[in-house]
Amino acid sequence: MKLKGCIFDLDGVIVDTARYHSLAWKRLADQLKIHFSEEDNERLKGVSRMDSLDIILEIGNMRLNEELRKEYASLKNRWYIEYISRMTPDEILPGSLEFIKELKEAGIKVAIGSASKNTPLILERVGMENLFDAVADGNRISKAKPDPEVFLTAAKMLGIEPVRIAVFEDAVAGVRAALNAGMICIGVGSSGILSEAHSVIPGLNKINLKKLEKIVKLSGYE
Ligand code: BG6
Ligand code: MG
């Protein structure tokens, strides 16, 4: 098959915002007096804002009414926005820009597929607001990863069939969403955690178009 498009998750793949999410959730957990470990934090990656809050409340064995849940989720988001508002293009993860430019020069369309409602702000802060052919984010979708909605939306916006698309993801829920969409998936991070992906790379500085085409071929997508 000929690869026609690539979809990138944003948080943890293109930019290191995963640490800002983590800082803001930790601050909220401390306020609620809930102990929140590194492993717990892994469970929040790729998961929507409300679902992340529910995971933290579950860890703390705490139940809150709808109104308070919304209040705490927006408190976390206010803190998160404080952190990301100070972001600069220096926080683009190594290799991202070079790889995306290589794909575009080869005529491969590129899109963002992120659960985050803060996607437009982040892209603007790091100077990537005009780089992508399509941006599918948390403002456009209603079903969180591992549901394939965000990636299928991006595919539709690009006008490309899912089987001709490769997704780059750092979260287990995101890898599952890509596979559920019928796309090839490259995990970005640790192969121990992202073992369900077709292939795993430590970061976008470890891939180029030639290597990607090889992965596509080996995955039996041809
Ligand atoms: C994902 C992150 O990209 O977006 C999650 O991996 C986050 O950690 C989710 O909860 C929603 O983000 P936001 O910015 O809309 O709260
Ligand atoms: Mg991510």
11 as an active site residue: the answer is yes
Average of pLDDT values for 176-182?
A: 98
93-149 per-position pLDDT tens digit: 999 999 999 999 999 999 999 999 999 999 999 999 999 999 999 999 999 899 999
Name the class of domain 5-16+89-218: alpha beta
Q: Where are the domains of the chain?
A: 5-16+89-218, 18-84
- Pick the atom of ligand 1 nearest to 11's CA: 3
pLDDT at 179 over 60: yes
Question: Which regions of the chain does DSSP assign to beta strands (E)?
Answer: 5-8, 109-113, 134-136, 165-169, 184-188, 199-201
Position with higher pLDDT, 10 vs 37: 10
Q: Tens of pLDDT along 51-76?
A: 999 999 999 999 999 999 999 999 99
Can you give the pLDDT at residue 38?
A: 85
41 lines ligand 1 (CB under 6 A): no
43 within ligand 1 shell (Cβ under 6 A) = no
Q: Is 9 a catalytic residue?
A: yes
At 219 the pLDDT is 86
| pLDDT at residue 66, rounded to an integer | 96
Of 9, 40, 137, 170, which is the active-site residue?
Answer: 9
Residue 148 preceded by cis peptide, ω within 30 = no
- pTM over the 0.75 mark: yes
Instruction: Give the CA distances from residue 120 to residues 125, 139, 220, in Å, rounded to whole numbers and listed in that order.
Output: 9, 10, 35
Indicate the pLDDT class of residue 42, thresholds 50, 70 and 90: confident
At 220, the pLDDT band (50, 70, 90 cuts) reads confident
d(CA 77, CA 130): 25
Distances (CA, A) of 20 to 134, 148, 182: 25, 25, 31
Residue 31 CA, ligand 2 centroid: distance in Å: 25
CATH number of 18-84: 1.10.150.240
What was the pLDDT predicted at 1? 67
Residue 1 C-alpha to ligand 1 middle, in angstroms?
32
How far, in Å, is the centroid of ligand 2 from the Cα of 59? 21
> What does the block give as tokens for 140?
């456009």
Structure tokens at 141: 């979708």
